[in-house]
Structure formats: structure tokens, C-alpha cells
Amino acid sequence: MQSMLVSHKFVDLLLMIRDDRTFDKALFDALTESERDFMAFILKKNHLVDRLNILHNASKIGDDNPSIKKEMKEILDSLYAKGVFSYQYYMQFNRRMMSEV
């Protein structure tokens, strides 16, 4: 992923989401198109990581539903495809997550 310069509005909105768990549509609409795309990417990636943690914790406490392993694999693949981590880390994480399930 490449770095990107963002406006103060972008930072303000991101902090608002993080700290207050609120979303200001007017502030979002004031962002440039590339900033809106980047914000959507960040929010989607954050959701995927949260969902992966939920699934992992469910498997750790004994939920043996086969759909958990399948969804975890899909999320790992998606995050790797987005460049969230390296191939080596992906393989290590994948082996570890799948062995614990």
C-alpha cells in the first residue's frame, strides 16, 4: 500500500470514528474522492480484522462450527490480497490460525 497525504478533515473524521464511534456524513462528503475511497478501505479493513478476531476467539473457546474455519481463511486471503501483510507472515499466520481451529 502506498502512502497518501490526507486533509485535516480526513484526520478529524477518522478520530471522530475512533474516539466517539460517530460518523459525520457532511464531513465525509467534504473529502476528496481519493480520501473517501481511502476512508472506505480503512473502515472495511478494520471490520475484517475485527471479524477475524471474533472468529478466532470463538474457535478458542470451543466453537467447532466448520463455517468458522472457512470464514477465517476467506478473511486471511482478503487481507493478504490487500497487502496488509507479507507472504511469509500470511503463511505463518494461516498455519497458526488453522492449527488452533
Query: How does pLDDT run across 17-62, given as a tens digit for each residue?
Result: 888 878 888 999 999 999 998 888 888 888 887 888 888 888 888 8
Range of the structural domain that residue 49 is part of = 8-100
Between helix 8-20 and helix 33-60 the angle, nearest 10°, is 30
Q: How many domains does the chain have?
A: 1
CA 27, CA 66: separation in Å to the nearest integer? 42
Note whether residue 3 is domain-resident: no
In this structure, what DSSP letter does residue 84 have? S
CA 59, CA 66: separation in Å to the nearest integer? 10
> Tell me: the pLDDT tens digits for 52-89?
888 888 888 888 888 988 888 888 888 777 766 678 87
Q: Which residues contact 31 (CB under 8 A, 6 or more apart)?
A: 7, 9, 10, 13, 39
